[in-house]
Chain A
Amino acid sequence: MSLKVERVQGDRGVESFYLWNVVQGLAVTVRHAVTNLRAPRAVQTTNYPEEKKVMPPGYRGKHRLVPRPDGSPKCTACMMCATVCPARCINIEAGEHPDPTIEKFPVQFDIDLLKCVFCGYCVEACPVDAIRMDSGVYTFAEFNRSDFVAHKEQLLATLSQWAEPR
């Protein structure tokens, strides 16, 4: 009933001659080599800085804050993302909004990208669809640790990789 792993012994049968499988192996590798030499596109490597991989929709890249039509963030500083964040990388300072229909707004909204684990919980937690991770940005390089903290303005300026959904 149960499947047994078959034992092929090196010192038995055709295997003991080395030669046969070496030739077989050489045939496999050269087949790949010929394909790759004839059609360089058969090599599946992405030549990174020149070719950039376009991430699929739903990819969790760098965060962005969704703006209202007037350019201010949709965020109401409800702190849900900061609470749910397993890495505790979101720091929000709430302020009273001048518009009485809107309760609060973030005076400060920082995400420490070095702490962030890109789990996407903040997006899931947001009750007003104010934070998204659809920028498609997956490379971060800075010269200082402090530069990795993305501030509100920066997050607002980040654009979606795809057309605005909804």
Chain B
Amino acid sequence: MNETLQQIKERFQEAVAVESGRDGDVVVMADTRSARGALLEVIGKLRDLGFTVLTDLAGIDYLQYPIQQPGRFAVTYILSDLKRRQRVRLKAYVGAQDPVLPSVTHLWQAANWLERECWDQFGIRFEGHPNLKRLLNHHEFVGHPLRKDYPMRSRQPLSENDSLMDEMVVRLRQKGLLLPGIEAQLATPGVRVSDHGEEAAPGSPSFGARGGAASAAVVERITALPGVLGEPEFYRDLHTELMFLNIGPSHPATHGTLRALVALDGETIMAAVGEIGYLHRGFEKSTEVQTYNGVIPYTDRLNYVSAMMNNFAYCKTIEKLLDIETTERTKAIRVVIAELSRIVDHLVCIGANLVDLGALTNYWYLFNVREKAYDIFDRLTGARLTNSYGRIGGLARDFYPGCGDDILRVLKETEKAIADVEQLISHNRILLDRLTGISAVTAEEALSRGWTGPLLRASGVDYDVRKAFPYDGYEQYDFEIPTGTVGDTYDRFFIRFYEMAQSARIIRQALAKMPAGPIFPDVKTAALPPKDDTYNNIEGLMNHFKLIFEGVKVPPGELYDSYEAANGELGFLVVADGSGKPFRNRCRPPSLLAYAAFPEIIEGHMIADAIATLGGLNIIAGELDR
């Protein structure tokens, strides 16, 4: 326990317990009125002490957990100190009866969607949240699916699309785009956005900061009547009117199913709100009935462009929970494959972004080499896209003979293709003008929004999990972290070129000193025995049976662990209960917080800029919606 936490402990005697976890220090807040009252103060204190970034916020339902817990639910806040490279996990327990916690949206913008997700999945309310709506599930959905008493296979018929006008009206009002008359009507207390959750007590004060919301009737009035919407001051003489346009969920540029409702003045976006969840398939709930190894194919489908990084991120978390260390060879192979995946991911991002900008040719130049990288994956793992290559403790297969040479060959071809693309675009004024100064995000804002990975680095913060919390032996490789200066679409776009160059550097170093040896450590409780043992040796067969039928047994405990995936920090918060299946498996997807910011950062820009920004954020719907 370090000094800062000592201070916290001394200050908030009974309310707070400080423990030491395998992933750093854990601050536990009891489920008492005084503890809940002190939560904001504790978080504020932690923030003052340097834990300035809210990395993740997730709920846990401890119903049926074998070890008695102080409350049914716990909301876990992962707070990071990027300077001192520390993390603290804050657990706030909250009881089953009307679970309420104070919102931290005023401290971090990232908390907005994270708290919404927590409310959606667990029914934990956050007092003071400006817009506590469902996030991933449909707005007609009844119940909170990640609660342990929500049946796994329960299905609900859902029909009506969310018009999003309730959020849009609030946004318009903040921007001063509504006429005064309407303003007065909206200010009527007691009206709130339609909410289908069963806990939605009428008149509950959950909408405060943004100043209340609009009733369905008012929304209807606003959409039906012409001339109700206000105009920006400087256009008032023209008597223009805002036009609402849905970009997505099916739009050529969304590359997945995302939706943004924008209010347009001409082509300029005056206000925008977003909606996600079209690809929500219940990753976290589904994995609760799989064995630990059985989750790996599910992780493939998070960021499906670089599936193996998700495998490794998940395996790394479970290995840490098991307290085993994988072999040097596996570490090196993971590094090589992860960096190659990162290159592939960036190629896809750049290629798709250029397609959206109209420069179609680059797409094929980049995707040709991507296919070649996939040929290697194909030979190595047995599948092109959903590789399922990681295993807890090791890997599904070792390198095939000549794999390293294949990778070096593809790297060379990739560099040639990138050189072509650089010649085509990197000094092209049309493209430079399209990207420069669009949707600039300052470093402070990016941190507040919980951005990680290339997006955060583009804003000038050199935070990289590979350097800050090294794993898989990254500390032995010589590489640099590229950072941007302005944090606009230009930086977010071109930083990926630099990252690919650094990844290539790492791959070359790792291949040059690839250690020999086994790919699984000698841990009988995690690694499947070699096939020879299984076929010919009764002990091996027994062990095999146990591991297959029961899964890898992970001792009770919980931790958060992160991995530098192509889009940013991919974190897993896993709660183990001693069985072979994860009790709770929370995934912190980098895309979620990136997309949460999207509607706000495109305001004031044009539709074409919004498309360019979206491409630069590299939202992967599989990871966004889980």
Contact = CB atoms under 8 A, between A and B. Distances in A.
Contacts of B531: 129
Nearest to A22: B428
Given A28-B420, A119-B388, A127-B535, A8 B485 contact: no
Interface string B450-472: 00000000100010000000000
Interface residues of A, number: 47
A28 B425 CA distance: 11
Contact of B427 (A15, A80, A84, A129): A15
Nearest to B501: A3
B6 interface: no
B424 interface: yes
Contacts of A125: 544, 548
Nearest to B464: A2
Max chain B Cβ within 10 angstroms of own Cβ: one of A5, A18, A22, A128: A5
A148 interface: no
A2 B423 CA distance: 25
Contact of B383 (A6, A8, A29, A118): A118
A3 B378 contact: no
Contact of B481 (A3, A22, A56): A3
Interface in B284-303: 290-291, 293-298, 300
Contacts of A127: 534-535, 541, 544-545
A124 B392 CA distance: 14
B549 A80 contact: yes
B420 A7 contact: no
Interface string B267-295: 00000000000000000000000110111
What range describes how many residues of B lie at the interface? 35 or more
Interface string B238-261: 000000000000000000000000
Given A2-B481, A28-B424, A129 B535 contact: yes
Given A3-B481, A16-B429, A25-B423, A86 B458 contact: no
A18 B430 contact: yes
Contacts of B296: 119
Interface stretch (B75-83, B491-499, B568-576): B491-499
Contacts of A133: 382
Contact of A15 (B432, B495, B549): B432
Contacts of B371: 44
Given A3-B481, A56-B379, A124-B528, A119 B432 contact: no
A91 interface: no
Nearest to A79: B549
B436 A120 contact: no
A58 B399 CA distance: 12
Nearest to B371: A44
A47 B428 CA distance: 34
B424 A29 contact: yes
B396 interface: yes
A65 B423 CA distance: 52
B54 interface: no
B614 to A, nearest CB: 20
B480 A84 contact: no
B378 A56 contact: yes
Interface in A1-39: 1-11, 14-18, 20-22, 24-25, 28-29, 32
Nearest to A61: B382
B294 A84 contact: yes
A20 B432 CA distance: 14
24 contacts: A2-B482, A2-B483, A3-B481, A3-B483, A4-B485, A7-B485, A8-B427, A8-B432, A10-B429, A11-B429, A11-B433, A20-B427, A25-B428, A32-B365, A58-B382, A58-B397, A58-B400, A60-B383, A80-B545, A80-B548, A84-B548, A87-B297, A119-B388, A121-B293
Interface of A: 1-11, 14-18, 20-22, 24-25, 28-29, 32, 44, 55-60, 80, 83-84, 86-87, 117-121, 124-125, 127-129, 133
Interface of B: 290-291, 293-298, 300, 361, 365, 368, 371, 375, 378-383, 386, 388, 396-397, 400, 420, 423-430, 432-433, 436, 458, 462, 480-486, 490-491, 494-495, 498, 502, 528, 531, 534-535, 541, 544-545, 548-549
